[in-house]
Amino acid sequence: MAKKHIPIPLTRIEAFSDGVIAIIITLMILLIKIPTIDKNATTEIIWQQLYGMVQPFIAYLLSFVMVGVLWVNHHQFLRQLKNADRKLLWHNLHLLFWMSLIPIPTNFLGQNFQRPEFTALYGFVMFMCAFSFALMREYVNSNHYLFIENLSPELRKKARVKLRSTTALYFVSIFTGFISVYISLAIFIGIAVIYFMPTNIEVKEDE
């Protein structure tokens, strides 16, 4: 007897995921401490205090882009599905767990991005985000009843290869910081650039 799959609407998984991602971004911006500037402070002191916000802001900007990349790909991934099932819900929670940790290494990078331990931690968390996303995609690839009919195997393969490549780059970034933190930072920025490049994995709408 064939196993019966109970379909689950995608609306719940989309709404919950969007809410969690919004909270993640909110937590990251709250990590930037706004200095209290005395009304009698000199211009030099004001600029010194504002300069102290530059590194935390850069760390926030980097993570904002990274979270944005994950959100866009998550949205695009769900558009390729007809519905969800119970196991897919758990895969999605696994992804959201690792994403929820992003504010922690972001805070460390904001304190001192020249510490290789901090770039290693950042790379590890981002690697686990990408890895959990890859696991979710592999699960769907092995259960074709979840995919919509008009998504070709070629497009699925292209998305899979891209995700695997960036996952490998994140893994490498864990260790390259001990050679030079700028190599790891270049990997983080490079991955963001890769995902900003247009790809043909959009779903063709039904007539």
Whether residue 134 is contained in a domain is answered as yes
pLDDT reported for residue 4: 55
Average pLDDT of the residues of the chain: 85
Please state, in angstroms and rounded to a whole number, the distance separating the CA atoms of residues 45 and 65. Answer: 31
pLDDT tops 50 at residue 205: no
Examine the pLDDT at 201 and tell me if it is beyond 70.
no
Q: What is the pLDDT of residue 146?
A: 67
What is the b/e burial string over 5-39, where b = at least 16 CB atoms within 10 angstroms of the residue's CB?
eeeeebeebbeebeebbeebbeebeebeeeeeeee
**Which amino acid, one-letter code, is at 107?**
N
Domains held by the chain: number: 1
Domain-embedded: residue 30: no
7 within domain boundaries: no
Both tokens of residue 158? 């292209």
Give the pLDDT band of residue 46 (cuts 50, 70, 90): confident
Task: Assign 143 a pLDDT band (cuts: 50, 70, 90).
Answer: confident
**Of 160 and 197, which is predicted with more confidence?**
160
With cut-offs at 50, 70 and 90, classify the pLDDT of residue 147: low
The answer as to whether 105 is a domain residue is yes
Evaluate whether residue 130 is within a structural domain: yes
- Contact present, 177 and 116 (Cβ < 8 Å): yes
pLDDT tens by residue, 17-39: 999 999 999 999 998 888 777 77
pTM recorded for the entire structure: 0.85
CB atoms within 10 A of CB 143: 13
| 32 located within any domain | no
- In this predicted structure, the answer to whether residue 93 has a pLDDT above a threshold of 60 is yes
Q: Could you tell me if residue 50 is inside a domain?
A: no
Q: How many CB atoms lie within 10 A of CB 51?
A: 9
pLDDT top residue among 155 and 120: 120
Give a yes or no: residue 80 inside a domain. Answer: yes
According to the model, what pLDDT value does residue 204 have?
A: 45
- Determine what percent of the chain is predicted with pLDDT higher than 90: 52
Would the pLDDT of 150 be above 60?
Answer: no
Q: Report d(CA 32, CA 42) in Å as an integer.
A: 23
Residue 4: partners with Cβ closer than 8 Å, 6 or more residues away: none
Domain ranges, residue 145: 55-196
- Residues 176, 187: Cα–Cα separation, whole Å: 9
